[in-house]
Structure formats: C-alpha cells, structure tokens
C-alpha cells in the first residue's frame, strides 16, 4: 500500500483535486433530489420498491448499515470519497496491465475522465442511492483486481470475493452488467492482443456467469422473504414488439449515432473519433492486422456493449445508466497513449484528453450549480404555494398540479439535474402532483393529499369544461388566482 501511494501520489492528488472541483457544489450545499423525497417521507415504500425492481443491493446496504433516515451532507461526502477510492483502485488495475512504456500520464487521464464525467454526476445526483452506487463502483474495481490475479495464476479462492463483489454491484443497479462486460473485454484486449486464450476466456466468463446467476438467486430470495412481488418497471421499458420495428430501429440508430458524433450535455467527445483513433493505433501492431478474432472482440467492446441496453430495450438508455461510455472513453485514451508510436497521434490524443477533462469538469460543476439553484427556487415556490393555500389546504382534498413550472435560474439542465419538483413527471396522468406534494412535505409544509390516477382524468375533463364555459378563471402561477378549489379537489396551475 505504501509503495502504491508513493508511486501514484501525484496522480491521486490531482484526481482528488479535480474531482473535488467538479463536485464541490454537491458536497458543500444542501438540496433534495428526485426520489430522495420519497425516501425521506416513506422509507419503507422506497426500500420495498427497490426490491420489486431487482435492486436488492440498495436495500441490503441501507438496512445493514442503518442508513435511514438519510443525512444529505454525510451521504454526498461519503459517496464522493468512496467513488474516489474506486478510481484509485483503477490506478492499481491499470498497473497490472501489460505496458510498453510509462503509464503515469495515461493512467491519470483515465482517472480524470471517470471522476469528472457528467454521466456519473447524473447518477450521483440521486442522493438516496449515491453511497450504494459508489460502493458498487468500488466493488467492481476491486473485483477486477482480484480477477486479474486469478487469471494470472493465483489460487482459486481469489475468485470468490470477486464473484461476491460483482454480484453485489449487479444487485445495486443493472447498468453495472454491461459495464463489467466492457471492462473484461478491454482487459482481454490489453493482455492477449492477437491471441485466442480459451482457458482465460473461460475464467472471464465463469466470474460473469456465476455472478449473474447468483444475483438472480439472491433477488428471488429477497422478494420471497420480504413478501414482495416484482413489477413491470423493467419490462415496460422494452419497446420491441410494441411498435413498428423500423421505428424502433430508427430510434436506436439515432441514439447510438448521437454518441458517435458527440452530441448532448453528457457526451463531451465524439465516440466515433476515438474509435477511429484507436483503430489507427491497432493497425500499427503487425500482429493484429490479419487477426479477425481480435478485431471482432474490439468491435464488440467499442461499438456494441456500451449500447447493448439500448439495443435490447429498443429505446435509448437514460444518461445516468450509461456507465460504460465514460469507461470506454477513458480506456481508449489510455490504450492510444500506451500503444502508439506516432507522434502526431499521441499529440492529438493528449489534446483531446485535456479538452474532454476540462469540458467534463466545467459541465459537471455547472450541472450541480444549476441544480442547487433549482432547489432554492423550488423552496421559494413551495413556500409561496403554502402562503397562498390558506383556506384551501384545511379542506383535506386531493391537490392537482397541472402544467409544469419552468425554473428561471437553471443555466444548464441535464437529464434529471436541474429538473424542478414542480415539473418532474408532468406528462403523466397526475402530472407533477405526487412529486410536488412529497417535496413540500420534506420542507415541513402540511400538504395532505395528492391527486390519484383514478380521479385525475375526471378532474381534467371537469376543469376543461368549467374553463370553456367561463365558470372559472384559472390564472397561471405566480399570478393571483392560480389556485382554485372545486368540490372534490384543489388545482394548482403552472
């Protein structure tokens, strides 16, 4: 350990400082994120819902370490520290890979790409599960270290903790499955260029398959002992067969192409550009030029696995679940710097790497800063509604929030980062009613009921008729008259 820290001191310090710069707003301010309000108001419901969608790892960690009630400050700090430790373990993992030259710069670049990526920032925005996700990342990084030792000839028992750690990660979030496959493929590419190592391939597969099956068994046991049935949450995300195949294929192609050309807040570099650069480097290796098997592995690693969930579902994966993309980006930059002898490619790669790290750091910082402004604005909106609610809330009627609030101080919006509680889920039957009410409860505002899916259609039709017949003059927030009371419900209009 002492030797590792001494040899990687400056890489560790630099990664920590840059990571801290990206996450400083998240770590130093208080805000409540989407879903965290549910854990605060009804922890049992949230815990059970995780089990119902095959995320037993989140539930197990919460119960094992008594992490309820949640402490936002402590949770965010612990999540960042654990995440940073996982990046440090990756330095050790990269040191175990074959290398033709010193890897200090390449290793640092890999670490900075991972710790600053907006994709993982989007995931760590969800404070209610951030510690568990960070632990899962740490588990994967340690498992890869143990796996490499076993593949290199260590005793069989080394694979046992590796399997348990990978199983835990799979049980925390399904996105760790394609991530682990991506990591294993990259590990194989670096170790066995141009070779078909059947025994070692079986070792890679055995850890994955055993972990995958063990995850399913533990998930079944959790559901059985907790008396909880599975839901259609995951199956409802599969669009194959629910619409025209050409439409589904077109959507997949558009999503993948967007990543390849580098569009959107979360994609700071063209994936396709890295693909071309890495291909040029591979072609420098004479042993690989005529090796079709190796190139098949490479294509699967780079062009398929990071998007495998999108392909399976027939619908673009949410940004926060695209764990594999920043890892492939980091791996590609690392590989090019370690294996290319062409000065122009090395210089270009370093420029790209610096650009990616700067843009990702600024983007992640701005996303957290914008979301903090969103939270402060949401608090102001909630308190105004509370003041304007006098004479209504005492009626104990369902509250129907219609439309959505457009935040004024959000300069950069991510997928969930920057989304107001008074806008989230606005396209559902009940609109943002559930989110708005549960958020207001976290502020200590006495709000009794939210609109139900059963009453909502009737309420919408009745409200539409009353407005059409000029029976009610419903204004838009914040104008006076944006709240209206009816026989069975109260409306808050955004």
Q: HSE on the CB side for 211, CA within 13 Å?
A: 30
Q: How many domains does the chain contain in total?
A: 2
Domain's final residue, options 341, 365, 395? 341
Mark whether 330 and 388 lie in a shared domain: no
Query: Measured on CA atoms in the order 143, 146, 149, 155, is the torsion positive or negative?
Result: negative
Mark whether 186 and 325 lie in a shared domain: yes
Angle at 106 between CA 102 and CA 109, to 5 degrees: 150
Distance CA 329, CA 325 (A): 6
Residue 357: inside a domain:
no
Mark whether 445 and 318 lie in a shared domain: no
Mark whether 307 and 436 lie in a shared domain: no
Residue 357 near residue 18, CB atoms below 8 Å: yes
Mark whether 303 and 441 lie in a shared domain: no
Mark whether 12 and 107 lie in a shared domain: yes
Domain's final residue, options 285, 311, 341? 341
Distance CA 224, CA 135 (A): 25
> 212 is in which domain, residue-wise?
2-341
Q: What is the dihedral of CA 129, 131, 136, 137, to 10 degrees?
A: 120
Sheet of 398-402, strands arranged across: 449-450, 398-402, 490-493, 483-485
Residue 347: inside a domain:
no
Residue 348: inside a domain:
no
Mark whether 167 and 243 lie in a shared domain: yes
Nearest-CA neighbor of 418 among 449, 386, 447, 376? 376
Q: What is the pLDDT of residues 36-80, one digit of tens each?
A: 999 999 999 999 999 999 999 999 999 999 999 999 999 999 999
Radius of gyration of the chain from its Cα atoms, rounded to whole angstroms: 25
Residue 222: inside a domain:
yes
Residue 375: inside a domain:
no
Mark whether 417 and 309 lie in a shared domain: no
Residue 365 near residue 29, CB atoms below 8 Å: no
Residue 355: inside a domain:
no
pLDDT, averaged in runs of 10, over the chain (494 residues): 87 97 97 95 94 96 94 97 97 91 93 96 97 98 95 87 98 96 91 80 94 97 92 77 85 83 75 81 75 78 84 89 92 92 90 93 96 97 90 72 91 93 92 93 84 88 86 89 88 92
Q: What 3-state DSSP class applies to 239?
A: coil
What b/e sequence results for 46-69 when a residue is b if at least 16 CB atoms lie within 10 Å of its CB, and e otherwise? bbebbbbebbbbbbbbbeeeebee
Residue 420: inside a domain:
yes
Q: For the chain, report the end-to-end CA distance as a whole number of angstroms.
A: 57
Residue 124 near residue 134, CB atoms below 8 Å: yes
Residue 367: inside a domain:
no
Domain's final residue, options 315, 341, 367? 341
Mark whether 408 and 298 lie in a shared domain: no
Mark whether 143 and 240 lie in a shared domain: yes
Residue 328 near residue 104, CB atoms below 8 Å: no
What b/e sequence results for 137-158 when a residue is b if at least 16 CB atoms lie within 10 Å of its CB, and e otherwise? bbbbbbbbbbbbebbeeeeeeb
Q: How many CB atoms lie within 10 A of CB 118?
A: 30
Mark whether 478 and 334 lie in a shared domain: no
Q: What is the pLDDT of residue 22?
A: 97
- Chain CA centroid to CA 367, Å: 14
Mark whether 60 and 170 lie in a shared domain: yes
Mode of pairing for the β-strands spanning 449-450 and 483-485: unpaired
């Amino acid at each position: 350990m002492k030797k590792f820290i001494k040899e990687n001191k400056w890489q560790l310090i630099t990664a920590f400082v840059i990571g801290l710069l990206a996450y400083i707003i998240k770590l130093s301010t208080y805000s409540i994120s989407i879903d965290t309000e549910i854990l605060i108001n009804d922890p049992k419901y949230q815990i059970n819902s995780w089990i119902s969608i095959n995320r037993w790892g989140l539930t197990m960690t919460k119960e094992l370490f008594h992490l309820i009630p949640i402490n936002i400050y402590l949770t965010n700090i612990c999540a960042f520290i654990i995440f940073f430790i996982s990046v440090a373990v990756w330095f050790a993992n990269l040191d175990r890979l074959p290398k033709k030259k010193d890897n200090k710069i390449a290793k640092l670049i890999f670490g900075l790409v991972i710790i600053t990526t907006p994709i993982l920032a989007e995931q760590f925005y969800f404070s209610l599960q951030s510690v568990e996700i960070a632990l899962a990342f740490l588990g994967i990084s340690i498992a890869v270290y143990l796996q490499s030792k076993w593949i290199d000839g260590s005793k069989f028992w080394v694979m046992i903790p590796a399997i348990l750690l990978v199983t835990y990660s799979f049980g925390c979030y399904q996105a760790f499955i394609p991530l682990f496959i991506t990591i294993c493929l990259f590990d194989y590419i670096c170790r066995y260029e141009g070779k078909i190592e059947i025994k070692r391939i079986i070792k890679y597969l055995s850890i994955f398959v055993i972990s995958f099956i063990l995850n399913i068994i533990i998930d079944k046991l959790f559901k059985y002992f907790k008396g909880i049935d599975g839901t259609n949450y995951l199956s409802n995300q599969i669009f194959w067969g629910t619409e025209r195949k050409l439409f589904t294929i077109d959507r997949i192609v558009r999503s993948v192409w967007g990543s390849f050309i580098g569009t959107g807040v979360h994609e700071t570099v063209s994936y396709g550009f890295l693909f071309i650069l890495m291909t040029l480097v591979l072609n420098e290796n004479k042993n690989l030029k005529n090796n079709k098997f190796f190139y098949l592995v490479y294509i699967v690693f780079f062009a398929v696995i990071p998007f495998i969930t999108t392909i399976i579902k027939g619908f673009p994966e949410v940004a926060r679940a695209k764990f594999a993309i920043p890892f492939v980006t980091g791996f590609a930059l690392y590989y090019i710097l370690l294996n290319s002898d062409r000065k122009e490619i090395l210089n270009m790669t370093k420029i790209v790497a610096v650009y990616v790290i700067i843009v990702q750091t600024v983007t992640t910082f701005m996303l957290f800063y914008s979301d903090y402004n969103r939270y402060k604005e949401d608090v102001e909106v909630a308190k105004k509604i509370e003041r304007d609610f006098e004479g209504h809330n005492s009626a104990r009627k369902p509250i129907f929030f219609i439309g959505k609030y457009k935040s004024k101080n959000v300069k950069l919006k991510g997928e969930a980062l920057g989304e107001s509680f008074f806008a989230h889920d606005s396209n559902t039957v009940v609109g943002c009613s559930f989110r708005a009410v549960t958020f207001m409860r976290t502020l200590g505002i006495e709000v009794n009921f939210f609109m139900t899916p059963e009453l909502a259609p009737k309420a919408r039709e009745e409200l539409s008729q009353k407005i059409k017949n000029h029976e009610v003059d419903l204004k838009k927030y914040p104008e006076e008259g944006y709240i209206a009371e009816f026989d069975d419900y109260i409306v808050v209009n955004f």
